[in-house]
Each structure stands twice: as structure tokens, then as C-alpha cells.
Amino acid sequence: MDKVTLTIDNIKVEVPKDYTILEAAKLAGIDIPTLCFLKGINEVGACRVCLVEIEGARTLQASCVHPVSEGMVVKTNSKKVRDARKSNVELILSNHNRECLICDRNKNCELQSLSEELGIREIPFEGIKTEAIIDDQSFSIVRDQSKCILCGRCVNVCRNIQKIGILDFVNRGFDTQVAPAFGKSMADVPCIYCGQCIVACPVGALKEKDDIEKVWDAIENPDVHVVVQTAPAVRAGLGECFELPIGTRVTGKMVAALKRMGFDRVYDTNFAADLTIMEEGHELIDRVQNGGKLPMITSCSPGWIRYCEFNYPDFLENLSTCKSPHQMMGAIIKSYYAQKKGIDPKNIFVVSIMPCTSKKTECQRPEMNSTGYRDVDAVLTTRELGKMIKQARIKFLELEDEQFDQDLLGEYTGAGVIFGATGGVMEAALRTVAEVLEGKVFEEVEYTAIRGVEDIKEATLTLGGMEVKIAVAHGTANAGKLLEMVKLGEKQYHFIEIMGCSGGCVTGGGQPHVSAKTLMNVDVRAERAKALYEEDRILPIRKSHENLQIKKLYEDFLEKPNSHKAHELLHTHYKAREKFPTTEACCQEEAATTKDCMFE
């Protein structure tokens, strides 16, 4: 690769000629502040915080977009640069809701941190502020216009990474806003609620719908039996809420904290992930052997499901009819568990701790009430759990590791754990499907060809004497690419896994925030996935069909995978959705979802 040599703050550095000044400075160990910049997503030079002085240039230049050149001499810390950066941030703050103490991002805000670093103590540019418009009509995401800094990070992650594009700049001049078109709420546009806009936002303009008090109320109610379940990806992210390194596995401490918070039972959604594999794996076998609709596509990701319903309704018959694992768990808790424990299901409150904001909307779907009660009553994100632990004054880092409750629904396998990483559902399914079709036990259980963060992964396996073609995609932009190839007949598969977020659940919209500066150095997807594969390797059982409590569940209650009873409780259906439905239709669906909620 051709390289150039330039001087940054009196340090000579040789870099590839296609580098920006920001990248070159990073290579030289020089820190240039940024705000709108988000590697690979938003590189537009809009905020002017990364300004640098270039010898011979008439004006200061945005280092995040300015290319390097041979012999260039750059200053990143001159008085001219410092004053300009400070003035630009003061201008941003002049039209910003600065109630930092009550902001969701207090002490975890990139604008707040930058203001402190630049030594800003007063705002000399006071004037009219943007109207405070709060859109909280969806079950998943809240948008606060008074905190938006117009950086464009949410716009570009939605448009270019997810290929959905429900957010954009509207109006002009001082009236410019980031919002859905035509003044619509995020509840009234084809948003999939993946929450990647929340993850991209550097401030508190976007956040998840807060259900913390709803859960505390349930815990405090002596007449309510509160059961909590945690998704596999939560253990790989929660530690970051307590300043542990990215990807630190905190399973035992998480369980200990939940027990101290007062939940009546603490279970792992991995049990239901194993259950999902039993149902989904046998559904695949049935489709392959009996001429069912192929390719079969996984249905664990509610963001992906909404994307399919809005954009590819012709593929709805290809979707597995299985509910996602946490919804299966809720249905089992309010049926099998309720019977075994002698508890009226109307007095059971199920809480799901998820890495995903779309799960909040999923649990409110009208069909997610197969027992006559809502399968899951509340969904909290990983971030919300971190807040609750702090509210309870629990010293998380000092906790001794504890185990999930072991009765009835407490056992899980390594196959369940890896659900949180892209390719994990596929790999878990293959561990079971391979042994069922081949009629023998395989010692090697790792399918490394479908691991990693490549956009689309493919493999061909020989199972039961036939070639089985599989594919894995993560992020809805990649899902669209894959489905278009299938639609055009360019690719043929038997089984496809799709996750709504890049990297899978480990980087879901409800996971802890990671600064743009950190993202320049770390692939969060890979680091968090390592924690899941680590737990998979140390577990004594790594195949879902070997889970003894799953076997007991079928013997005592469900009979067999895909039985009539299993279909009643664990399976669901999907529907094509209009991208811009009428207000009346929206109201009817919302009414259907809230009629039996205990605390609404």
C-alpha cells in the first residue's frame, strides 16, 4: 500500500495515503476530540470539534474527513485550535437541554465529557432554544428533541447500516431537527425498534422506554410472584455498567445481584434457548423431510421479524413459527411452572432482562399471550438492569458469584449461551439437528465456519445423507442483501439465521453505551461474543437435546417437540405490516396489546 509521511505536533508519522488526519493522529498516539464522528458510520465533519491547523491552509480543517498528503504539517493543540473547538462546543450547548443531573446519559455522555475536557464553565451564546418535543409513543424508544445535537449519527446508522431510514434531517436552519418524516411518531413509521440509533447517539436524545419503576412495583407487591430471566448476551455486557472491560463475563455476579434485588426466582433464558432449538430444530427437520417451505429462517430476533413483516412479507411463510426464547420462557412459566408451583398465573409477573429494545415491543404483540395472560410482563435492557443494581446500592464488583435457581427451569447448555452471538442460533441448532438426522453422537460440536462478524456467512454440510446449505446474516442491511439473492434465485439454502443487529444480540440496542473513541480501537461485537463462547466451552453439556430438564418438560407436559401442546404455547404467527398504517389501525393494535397488563 502506498504511504505518505506527515508531521503531527512535531511527530513524524508514516501512514497509508488514504488515511484521514484523525486516523494518522491516532496511529501517532495523538488524541483529537470528536463528537459527530462514528467510525464506519458517520464521517461527515459536521460538529467541527475535531478541527486542526494545517500549515499553509487558510482555515482550520475537520480532521475526521481531511485526507493526509505527503509533507503535510499539522498542529492539533495550538491556541487557535483550542479556542475554535471550545467555541463550537459552546455553540452546541447554547441550544441544548443542559439538565444533566436528570438526564439518562449523565456521566456517560460524550458531549458532557467533551465539555469537561475543554474546560467549559459558562455558555456565552444564550438565546432561543429548540422546542422540547418528546416522542414516547412506542413501547421501545423515546426521542427527546431538546437534547439532539444534529450530529447525524442516528440518521446514518439507520439509513446506511440497517438500511431502514426512518430518521432524517427535516426543516432548515435553526428549525432543523432529526425526526421521522411528516412529523410522525416513531410508533407510526416502519421502525423495527432495534435501538441502534440509541447506541449511536452520543447524548440523551434517544433512549429506551423506561420500565424500571414498573418492575420495582411488582417486586414490592406481596401478592405477586416475580420471576426474572436473563438473556445470554446480558452477561457479556452488564459488567461495562460497572467499568469492567468490554466483554467481561459476569454471570455469577449478575445472578447474585438479581437475588438481592428481591426477585422470587432467577432463571436464565438459556433454558428457553435450548427449548427453542428443540422446537425449531425439529421444525426444520420436518420441513426438509416433508416438503415444507424452505429456506426456513430463524425467528428469535424481533427487530428482524418486524423488518420482514414490513419489507419482505413474501418471506413470512419461511419464518420459523417458534416464538423467541424469552417469550417461550414466559409461556412455560405461566403454564408448566405455575402448575408445578401451585401458583395462579394471574399472580405471576415475568421480567425479561434483554440486550434488545425491540423485545419491549415484542412482548406487547397481541399474540404473545398463549396462556390467556401476557407471556412476558416487562422487558428491561441491560442498561436498565445496571441502573436498578445501582439504585439498590448493591456493590456489584464485590459480590460473590451465585448460581441461577436450579428448580424446573434452571438447567441450560452451551448451545443456549451462544444464542447471543451472530451465528449462535444456527450453530446451536446444528448441534441437535446433526445428531437427530445422523442418529449418532458427535464429539465435535463447534461449527466455526459460521462464527465471526463477516456480513454474510455460508456453509454446506452433509447431514443424514443429504447436503444442507445454510447462511447467516446479521444487521438488517445484510438481511436485505441475502433475501434479495434468494428472491432472485441466485442462492438456495435450507436454513438461514438472521439477527436484526450487527454482531447479533451482543450489540443489541439495550447494551451499555460505548464511546466513539473506544469504537475506533475495539470491535465490541467480537469482544462480547468471546465471553459467550468462553461460557459455552466450560459448561458440561453443550447440546440442547441433552438438557435433562428440557427432557423432563416434554415428558411431563409438552409430550414431544412440535406437539399440539407445544404449538399452542411456544409457536406464533406473523403478519404483513403497512409501512404507514392509519391512525385507527394503530390505536386498535395498541388497545389489544395493553388490555391485560397488570401495571398499566
Catalytic sites, residue numbers: 280, 283, 300, 320, 359, 362, 367, 505
How many degrees, rounded to 5, is the angle at CA 306 between CA 303 and CA 308? 110
322 and 301 Cβ atoms separated by less than 8 Å: no
Cell of 22: 484523525
51 and 63 Cβ atoms separated by less than 8 Å: yes
54 and 66 Cβ atoms separated by less than 8 Å: yes
Residue 586 vs residues 238, 374, 431, 467: alpha-carbon distances, Å: 34, 19, 41, 45
How many degrees, rounded to 5, is the angle at CA 457 between CA 453 and CA 460? 145
Parallel, antiparallel or unpaired: strands 73-75 and 3-8:
parallel
Residue 250 vs residues 266, 356, 393, 412, 510: alpha-carbon distances, Å: 15, 18, 18, 17, 17
| Alpha carbon distance 490, 492 (integer Å) | 7
Determine which helix (DSSP H) or strand (DSSP E) holds 166, and give its type and residue range. Answer: none
| Alpha carbon distance 191, 199 (integer Å) | 15
Q: What number of H helices and E strands is found in the chain?
A: 22, 18
| Alpha carbon distance 33, 52 (integer Å) | 10
Helix 110-117 and helix 79-94: axis angle, to 10°? 140
Handedness of CA 11, 16, 20, 22 (dihedral sign): negative
Phi then psi for residue 469, to 5 deg, are -100, 130
| Cell numbers 428491561: residue | 380
| Cell numbers 404473545: residue | 368
Torsion of CA 292, 294, 299, 302, to 10 degrees: -120
> Among residues 197, 416, 217, which one has the least CA distance to residue 328?
416
Residue 421 vs residues 199, 450, 578: alpha-carbon distances, Å: 17, 10, 30
> Among residues 472, 545, 533, 486, which one has the least CA distance to residue 506?
533
Cell of 546: 441433552
| Alpha carbon distance 301, 498 (integer Å) | 8
Residue 19: strand, helix, or coil: coil
Cell of 276: 427453542
Residue type, 143: R
Cell of 275: 427449548
Q: Which residues pair with 471 in a beta bridge?
A: 458, 496
